[in-house]
Structures are given as structure tokens and as C-alpha cells.
Chains A and B, each alone.
Chain A
Amino acid sequence: MTEPVTLLEALTAAAMVSALTWAIGRWAGRGGCWVWCLAVGLGFYLGLAILGVRPRWPIREDQDRFLGLVLPGILAAEAVCRSLKTPSRLGAAARLVAATAVAPVLLHGSSYVVDHAGPGSAEWPSAWRWLIFGGLGLATACNWSGLVWIQTRSGSAVRVLVALATAALGAGLAVMLSGYASGGLTALPLAAAIVGASIAASFRAEAPDTAPGVGLIGLEGVLMMGAFFGRLRTAEAVVLFLAPLLAGIPEAYPLSRLGPRFRTVLGVGLTACAVAAATATTWRRFAADAVGL
């Protein structure tokens, strides 16, 4: 079990390093998305290191694939795609590909997709498997496009990101309370790194300088690990997954007439309410029947 002090140290370090990296990048005249990805990546992996979590080699488990393949992959993809200013259709296609790849990577070799006990013993028959992967990918890509739209429409560099960090924090806690403590733990430094970089970015950054993809794929990965390898319920996972979209509600009339800062606070607050509801549900279930180890 992780000591609270160690956890606090890890989260503080993740937030500070990501904020400093962003600030140094801006001070050196290096704006843009790749600095954002570098800042979040450095903060996140430093936080994990303090927690004593690292992907093991050779990669064998979902958590190794999440930390060693999925997150580095999306950090690199976001940095390259956004820095090259790819056309919107190409960007949407890239998002769909990246979003669809997460489930097969995380579930690789598991009893969902592999016939461990003889032919036809996998939990998901072949046709179902691709339907599920496609559905999850499409849902993630739609969510991603929605977040990009909110970010562009609001003009805020941080609203979507803080909403994502809030959802990641809630997802981490919910997964920890759903019988997969180490899986949920990985979401906490990710949330801290995003918040740190977002606070630094809130001073001078433009929306295109930051990228929601890292936070969203991180959120998706943690929820998938909790739902498929832990005992996180589907309804709670869906609420946590969709919660960041609530940050877009203040863009609807008549709320859109409010000031930008108030809209940002309102958007993040709505997300936080949904996240708190889902996390409280898992907490109640945990408290009701937990004796635990």
C-alpha cells in the first residue's frame, strides 16, 4: 500500500515538474503542443517513479502496456500531429486510429480475447471482439472530437484539461476502490501532471498549445483496466468517461453570454459533480462490503 506522504510527494512533484517544464519551454520561446506533451510526460513519469511504479519488461500485463506503450504512444502522437498542424480530417482519422488501438493493446493476451482453455474458450467470440473494440474506439474518438471542439469554441487553454484531470483523479479513486489498487494509482500522477501544466499554461497559452488527447487516452486506459481487470461497474466507468464533456455546457446559450472565467469554473464544476457522484457510488459499495486484505 502507498503511504499518504509518498502519494502527496508524488503528486506534488508531478504537478511542479510539469508546470516548470511548460514554463521553461515558454520562456525559451518554444511554445506549442510538443512542450505540453513533454511537460505532462515528464511530470507523470516522475510521479510514477516516486510511487515506485514502472512498466516491467518484458511487457506482460495491462498496466505494463498502459504505462509502456499506450501513454508514450499517445504523448508522441499528440506532439507530432499537433505540432505539424495536420488538417482536421487527417487529425480526426488519427484520433480514431489511436482511440481504437487502446482496447486491443490493453486486453492483449487476456481471457477476453485468447482461447486459454482450448478453442473457442475466449470470453468474447471473434465477431463480438471487433465490435467491442470498434465501439470503444468510436466512442473515444467522438469524445475526443467533442473535447477538441469545446477547447476551440471556449478559447480556454485549460478548461478541458482541468476537466480531464478531474475525471482522471475520480477514475483513479474509483478503480482503486473497485479491487485494482495499483491500476487506479497510475491515474493520480497523470491528473497531477495535467493540472500542473494547465496552471502554468493558464497564464499565456492559447488553446492550440495544449492537447486533450493525452488526458483522454489516459482516462480511457485507466477505466478500461478497472472495468476489465478490476470490478469497476460499467455505469460508473461511462459516467467518468463522459464527464469531461460537461465542461462544454457553458458554451450553450444563454450560459455562453457569461464571462470566460466564470464559464471555465462552471464547466469544470459540472464535470467535478459528475465525477464526485460516480466516485461516491464506488465508495459506498466499497464501504458496504469491504473487509479487504
Chain B
Amino acid sequence: MLKSGLLAVATILGGQSGARAADTYSIDPAHTSATFKVEHLGLSWIHGRFNDVAGEFRVDSANPSSSRFALTIKSESLDTANKKRDEHLASPDFFNAKQFPVVSFKSTAVKAVEKGLEVTGDLTLHGETKPVTFLLTGGKTAEFPPGVHRRGYTTHLKIKRSDYGMDKMIPAAGDEIHIEVSFEGVKS
């Protein structure tokens, strides 16, 4: 038991366990965080997360441009640790979760750069689709538990919610949204 545990930890810390040239991964929700922060009255930052994230990605180490990333998030799963505020954020004043239940991203181009992968794709939020580009860092692999191959990435991006038609209550709730997505995929 102890031996297998140490082996697993060593595998995680070691990273880079020889993945095949093109591997497909399913997002592991338990090890994936889609978080955001937004200014409140210009005074403080409200932090929130989405609790229902799914998706898959395909990574081709030999030919990064053929890699693909797709993510879907349920709008209604947003969580700012305040039920009343979450209900308001789900209303048409913000996300309109009944009308636009899903936030999604689908890559259209991936390019290897010095610090990771530069991913361009279509972000659909509040029913509006716009192109976004961000740097995806990480890409390490691990086997944990034994037999389960993982790969993970992290990215930060900033968007203006008004660009997506989510333009009510600005500036009480800030226009600029800081998003961080950190995800692990399990190899299919």
C-alpha cells in the first residue's frame, strides 16, 4: 500500500510519462477548476467558480497544431459562496442561465510557443460567440492511480462581459472578468 502510494507520488512529481504522439483526454471534473473574479463597485474582487465543467482534448506532441481543446461549463453551476448572489448571477441580469445554459470553448488553432501552447478558439458566453486567444501552460503528464494516464494545463485570460452582451449593472459589477481554468484530462 505504502509502496504503491510512494510510486504514485513519484510518478506525479516526475511528470512526463511518455505519452503517445496524439492522445485524447477526457476532462476530470474532480481535478478541474474554472474560476473567475470580477470587481464589485471598484472596491473589491468577488471570486467565483463553476462546479460543472466537462470536455475533452487531444494533444499531438509531434504536431502541436493538430491538437484540439473543447470545454463546456453549465452556467447554473456558478458558485460565489453566496446563494442569493448566485441566483442573481444566474438571472438575465447576468448569465441568463435559463436562456443560455452553457458556456463553451472550442479551439480552432493551436500553436507551440516558448512557454506552452497558444490556443485560439471560439468562446461562447451568454449566447454570443467570439474568438479568444490564450496561453496554455503545463502539459505535464502523470500516471495516477496506476494505469490512469493524466495530463494537465492551466490558463488565464481576461474578457469583457459587455462584448458578449452581458452588459447590465456595469460598473456596479465590473465589465472585465478575469478567468482562470486549470484542468486535468484522463487519457481515453
Interface of B, helix, strand, loop or mixed by DSSP? loop
Is B87 within 8 A of A231, CB to CB? yes
**Nearest-neighbor residue (CB-CB) of A60 within chain B:** B127
**Nearest-neighbor residue (CB-CB) of A2 within chain B:** B169
Residues of chain B with a CB closer than 8 A to A1's CB: 169, 172
A290 to B87, CA, bound (A): 11
The smallest C-beta distance from B120 to any residue of chain A, in angstroms, reads 25
The smallest C-beta distance from B176 to any residue of chain A, in angstroms, reads 16
Residue from A109, A179, A293 in contact with B169 in the complex, judged by beta carbons closer than 8 Å = A293
Is A228 at the interface (CB under 8 A from chain B)?
yes
Residues of chain A with a CB closer than 8 A to B99's CB: 60-62, 109-111, 229
Residue from B82, B98, B102, B127 in contact with A229 in the complex, judged by beta carbons closer than 8 Å = B98
**Nearest-neighbor residue (CB-CB) of B46 within chain A:** A293
How large, as a class, is the contact surface on chain B?
20 to 34
A116 and B87 contact, Cβ closer than 8 Å, known pairs A60-B165, A293-B169: no
**Nearest-neighbor residue (CB-CB) of A123 within chain B:** B98
Is B92 within 8 A of A225, CB to CB? yes
Tell which of A56, A225, A230 has the most Cβ of chain B within 10 Å: A230
Is A180 at the interface (CB under 8 A from chain B)?
yes
Is B98 within 8 A of A293, CB to CB? no
Contacting residues of chain A (218-249) with chain B, CB-CB under 8 angstroms = 225, 228-231
Residues of chain B with a CB closer than 8 A to A225's CB: 92
Is B12 at the interface (CB under 8 A from chain A)?
no
**Nearest-neighbor residue (CB-CB) of B127 within chain A:** A60
Is B98 within 8 A of A182, CB to CB? no
Tell which of A62, A179, A182 has the most Cβ of chain B within 10 Å: A179
The smallest C-beta distance from B133 to any residue of chain A, in angstroms, reads 25
Is A63 within 8 A of B92, CB to CB? yes
The smallest C-beta distance from A6 to any residue of chain B, in angstroms, reads 14
A: number of interface residues (CB 8 Å): 27
Residues of chain A with a CB closer than 8 A to B97's CB: 111
A61 to B40, CA, bound (A): 25
Contacting residues of chain A (259-293) with chain B, CB-CB under 8 angstroms = 289-293
A100 to B105, CA, bound (A): 37
Is B109 at the interface (CB under 8 A from chain A)?
no
Is B101 at the interface (CB under 8 A from chain A)?
yes
Is B172 within 8 A of A293, CB to CB? yes
Residues of chain A with a CB closer than 8 A to B96's CB: 61-62, 229
Is A127 at the interface (CB under 8 A from chain B)?
no
A111 and B92 contact, Cβ closer than 8 Å, known pairs A289-B83, A291-B82, A291-B85: no
Contacting residues of chain B (165-187) with chain A, CB-CB under 8 angstroms = 165, 168-169, 172-173
A183 and B92 contact, Cβ closer than 8 Å, known pairs A1-B169, A293-B169, A293-B172: yes
A291 to B89, CA, bound (A): 13
**Nearest-neighbor residue (CB-CB) of B76 within chain A:** A111
Is B3 at the interface (CB under 8 A from chain A)?
no
Residues of chain B with a CB closer than 8 A to A290's CB: 84
Is B93 within 8 A of A180, CB to CB? yes
The smallest C-beta distance from B178 to any residue of chain A, in angstroms, reads 17
Is A293 within 8 A of B102, CB to CB? no
The smallest C-beta distance from B15 to any residue of chain A, in angstroms, reads 35
B62-80 interface bits toward A, Cβ cutoff 8 Å, 1 = contact, 0 = none: 0000000000000000000
A273 to B90, CA, bound (A): 32
**Nearest-neighbor residue (CB-CB) of B168 within chain A:** A182
Residues of chain A with a CB closer than 8 A to B101's CB: 111, 116-117
Residues of chain B with a CB closer than 8 A to A110's CB: 98-99
Is B156 at the interface (CB under 8 A from chain A)?
no
16 additional contacts (CB under 8 A) given A110-B98, A289-B83: A1-B169, A56-B165, A60-B165, A62-B92, A62-B96, A117-B102, A179-B87, A180-B88, A182-B92, A182-B168, A230-B91, A230-B92, A290-B84, A292-B84, A292-B85, A293-B172
Residues in chain B within 8 A of chain A (CB atoms): 40, 46, 82-85, 87-93, 96-99, 101-102, 127, 165, 168-169, 172-173
Which 4 A/B pairs are nearest by Cβ-Cβ distance?
A180-B91, A179-B88, A179-B87, A110-B98
